[in-house]
Chains A and B, each alone.
Chain A
Amino acid sequence: MTSKMSREIEPIVRIRPAIIEGVEVAIEAFAGAARMTIGELSALKQGDIVALDRSIGSDVELRLNGVVIATGELVAVEEMFGVRITAIASE
């Protein structure tokens, strides 16, 4: 049985790019981050302001599995947030 199957299936050397290109992935847009202790985090209450590590006008990061793949400006697309890509990560 095994030898029959191995004869019928053509040996595949590489995964076909079309399969990979058809995989759905999630891209996340981050506006910035803040670093703090758990104690500080737990003390946060409603109305508190936490400054991010980015200035107004700074691009947001587009991350794929946590890796920054591009940056862009935050825009509104009708009632939704959107990101217009301004730079593609070089590495």
Chain B
Amino acid sequence: MTLQVRSWLPAAALSRPALEAAVMWLVSAWARDWFVDGSSTSITAVASDAVTRFDQWHGGDAWDIRFDEASSIAVGAACGGHAERQVTRRDQALLAHAGHAAIADLAERFHHRVSSGRMVGGSHAPSALMQRHSERAHQFMLGDRQIGWSLLIACDDKAVIALRRAIGGANAPPAQLALGTIGQALESHMIDLGALVGSTRILAGEVARLAIGDVLVLDRKTSETLPYVIDGQSISSGRLSLRTDGDKVTFCIEQPILATVETSRS
């Protein structure tokens, strides 16, 4: 069976080695992830064949990509312009294309069905996909005029991460901050970041007798970096140094506060 996946590409695919490489990588990576019986040898062959069959679509800014069903789904995920919205319906983005819808369908069929998580999908999905998920296809309107359909399927975290890898194309996936879900929920929460130069321990009686002109020697060398202090809590993992910028004193981040983790590509 051959499906047609229509996705937007910024330029001629074969004139862009990075894009071609992205497609190659994605086809094999997706297949490894999602096809139980996918062997790397046969997948590479599929990918190689797929890339040679890019045909320019009318308009010059979009392409028809014709592959067999499995690889068309994978290739679709490689193409830009995607939609993603949370179950809470926040961050809705309706401008979307086939890739997400296709890969969400793939995730659901080959991985497992999930009832929660993020709603992933897009418009311009192949008609076969729309028919398969007709109960979840959304018609969107411009005034009273129908301008298209989108398909949104719940995907678990693994599928969402894989989608983001797809958007990244051939580039290495970006390091993700180890904030996690709770951290993301608190992203807009305001905090005070303090520059603790140092401290000293003295007797309370000496505190009471402190006078103007007295010098307190702190426990930190002038050559040392300083720890972050957030809401009174010293965070030892982050370091900074004091510098000047014009008439302002500034922090210079010597070590970010949160350890970063690299998203696995395998």
- A: residues with CB less than 8 A from B are 20-39, 41-52, 54-56, 58, 60, 62, 64, 66, 69-70, 72, 74-77, 79-88
Contacts and interface: CB of A to CB of B under 8 A. Distances in A.
B203 to A, nearest CB: 6
B170 to A, nearest CB: 23
B193 A25 contact: no
Interface stretch (B15-23, B51-59, B62-70, B209-217): B209-217
Contacts, number: 189
B210 A47 contact: no
Q: Is the interface of B mostly helix, strand, loop or mixed?
A: strand
Contacts of B215: 75, 77, 82-85
Interface in B205-226: 205, 207-208, 210-223
A55 B214 CA distance: 23
A34 B229 CA distance: 11
B191 A64 contact: no
28 contacts: A24-B203, A24-B204, A25-B201, A26-B200, A29-B199, A34-B251, A35-B192, A38-B183, A38-B187, A42-B187, A45-B256, A46-B253, A50-B250, A51-B248, A51-B251, A52-B195, A52-B251, A56-B247, A58-B249, A69-B207, A76-B222, A80-B219, A80-B222, A82-B217, A84-B215, A85-B211, A85-B214, A88-B211
Interface stretch (B79-87, B135-143, B146-154, B238-246): B238-246
A31 B195 CA distance: 5
Contacts of B210: 69-70, 85, 88
